[in-house]
Structure 1
Amino acid sequence: MTTVSLRQARVRYGPLEALHGVTLAAPGPGLTVLLGRNGSGRTTALRALAGTVPLADGAVVWDGTDVTRMPAFERARRGMCLVPERQAVFGSLTVRENLDLAAPDHGTALDAYPQLRPLLERRAGTLSGGEQRMLALSRALLARARVVLVDEPAQGMSPAVAARTYELLTALEACVVVAEQRLPPALRERTARGGRVALVYELRRGAVVFAGEAGELTR
């Protein structure tokens, strides 16, 4: 089991404070959802966990170890994978080359998203938004990371592919944290069927306003 958490985390962009002492914990294997509108701080919280933005105060703790000062590349080396909302793939490389960078044997990724098979020789920058998300998530699946952080995983996808994406994420034996504007329909349905419980933190203006299970939010 692994856990990644923010403890009284504050993040500033110049004079503006984006996170106001946020505390949250994401255990794994399992799914944690950071909900909030644009400007709520959900993306900043994800980046703070990954180390791509520095904390002005507070701490990032990973499996009981304070990694606040650990650079993002070192966190990645130790098993943390971030899939940002934008620029998550290498646009000048082909789909095949993007997958090769993650793992030479990428059959698992193509089984997860068979829609990518006919696109292997296409440059990633020419793909649609949904196709790029599939490619970015495929690379994350191949990484076999201990912690997977994804900003809006189903953006641009059809409802069926979005549901498939959440099936893949919830099945990972990893600590998975996703940032979304609202609770995805696939998770609402999964919760109603008694599937693996997802933890939810709702952020508003840089502060946590709700923390609990997905089922509590849907009632």
Structure 2
Amino acid sequence: MSVEISLRAARVRYGPLEALHCVDLPVPPATVTVLLGRNGSGRTTVLRALAGTVPLSAGRVVWRGADVTRLPAHRRARRGLCFVPDRRALYATLTVAENLALGARGRDLTPALDAYPELRPLLPRRAGTLSGGEQRMLALSRALLTPARVVLVDEPVLGMAPAVAGRAYRLLCGLCDRHGTAVVVAEQRPPAGLPGGTLAHELRRGTLSFSGELAEFTSRAAGEPQPPSGRVRDRGE
């Protein structure tokens, strides 16, 4: 399996508490990878470690064979990494149009507005006045406007109606298909509608408790017999 970006024996500490315990996590290109786990499991910390918004206390971040562990977040962004956090993903005092313009960096806004036509009548509104689902649509539009090798999204469909949530995942899968983007999403539960072969990693208390295909994970969670390829391990290959 080719790897776009990975964590290798990664540890992250918040003060005296260690949030990630020697995590190995490879992210392949042109694929959606799902990080699963309850609040406090470490899934958000994995995204932050990949994005460079939290430092590693040990281990490495490797991107296309290069060690980028010490590369700050803004330089990873310039290299083609887009991080959409679950909170503070927008400039609340700026309008929807201004937020889109910042994400587009001079490019055409049409892809975002075609993907989320609900945003068109909201262009003059301040982002902080939008509903939770509308804010997530606006935040996700960054990934559609910025050509990225790696897109990291924390709870992409938080606050969205089911139909809009399904569209969001189709758009993220489209980035993989059209541009070869490596997409990593963090969710509490397995999302519906993802294609076969989608990869999943479950985190529990800062360690990996499962790595494999999403279908294997959902079968395991439902108590169904697993195929021979199903596996549970503490560290990703």
Letter in 1 for 2:190: L
Q: How far did 1:2 drift? A: 5.8
* Structure-2 separation of matches of 1:25 and 1:166: 21
C-alpha contact (below 8 Å) 1:2/1:175 kept by paired residues: no
Q: What does residue 228 of structure 2 align with?
A: none
Report the 3-state secondary structure (helix = DSSP H, G, I; strand = E; otherwise coil) of the residue aligned with 1:88: coil
Q: Secondary structure at the match of 2:216?
A: helix
**Which residue of structure 2 lines up, in the alignment, with residue 179 of structure 1?**
186
Per the normalisation by structure 2, the TM-score is 0.87
What's 2:197 paired with? 197
Distance 1:180 1:49 in 2: 16
CA contact (8 A) 1:80 1:148 kept: yes
Aligned 8 A contact 2:12 2:55 in 1: yes
Matched, 1:170 2:173: yes
Q: Which 4+ runs in 1 deviate beyond 4 A?
A: none
Tell me by how many angstroms 1:197 deviates: 2.1
CA contact (8 A) 1:6 1:61 kept: yes
Q: Aligned letter for 1:144?
A: P
Identity across the alignment (%): 67
Give the equivalent residue in structure 2 for 1:85: 86
Q: Are the equivalent residues in 2 in contact too, given 1:2–1:146 (CA < 8 A)?
A: no
Q: What SS does structure 2 have at the residue aligned with 1:144?
A: coil
Counterpart code for 1:21: C
How many Å separate the matches in 2 of 1:175 and 1:139? 15
Once the two structures are superposed, residues 134-173 of structure 1 have per-residue CA deviations (whole angstroms, 9 ceiling, x without a partner) of 0011122101111000000000000000000000001112
Structure 2: distance between partners of 1:171 and 1:208: 28
The RMSD of aligned alpha carbons is 1.1
Q: Does structure 2 conserve the Cα–Cα contact (< 8 Å) formed by 1:170 and 1:196?
A: no
Q: Which residue identity lines up with residue 101 of structure 2 in the other structure?
A: D
The residue identity in structure 2 corresponding to 1:37 is: R
* Separation in structure 1 between the aligned mates of residue 129 and residue 143 of structure 2, nearest angstrom: 20
1:92 offset after TM fit, Å? 0.7
* Structure 2 residues without counterparts, runs of 5 or longer: 220-237
1:161 & 1:197 partners in 2: Cα distance? Answer: 23
2:13 is the alignment partner of 1:43: no
| Letter aligned with residue 159 of structure 1 | P
CA distance, structure 2, for counterparts of residue 134 and residue 142 of structure 1: 12
User: Could you say which residue in structure 1 is the equivalent of 2:235?
Assistant: none
Checking the alignment, whether the CA contact within 8 Å between 1:149 and 1:177 is kept in structure 2 is: yes
Shift of the alpha carbon at 1:185? 2.2
Task: Tell me the distance in 1 between the aligned counterparts of 2:9 and 2:131.
Answer: 38
User: What is the CA–CA distance in structure 1 between the aligned matches of 2:78 and 2:169, rounded to whole Å?
Assistant: 25
Query: Does the 8 Å CA contact 1:10/1:58 hold for their aligned counterparts?
Result: yes
Number of the residue aligned with 1:119:
122
Cα contact 2:3–2:26 (8 A) shared by 1: no
- Secondary structure, aligned partner of 2:136: helix
* Whole-angstrom CA distance in 2 between matches of 1:197 and 1:115: 31
Q: Against the structure 1 CA distance between its residues 2 and 8, is the aligned structure 2 distance closer, same or farther, given a 3 Å change threshold?
A: closer
What residue ranges of structure 1 are gaps of 5+ in the alignment?
188-194
What count of residue pairs does the alignment treat as equivalent? 212
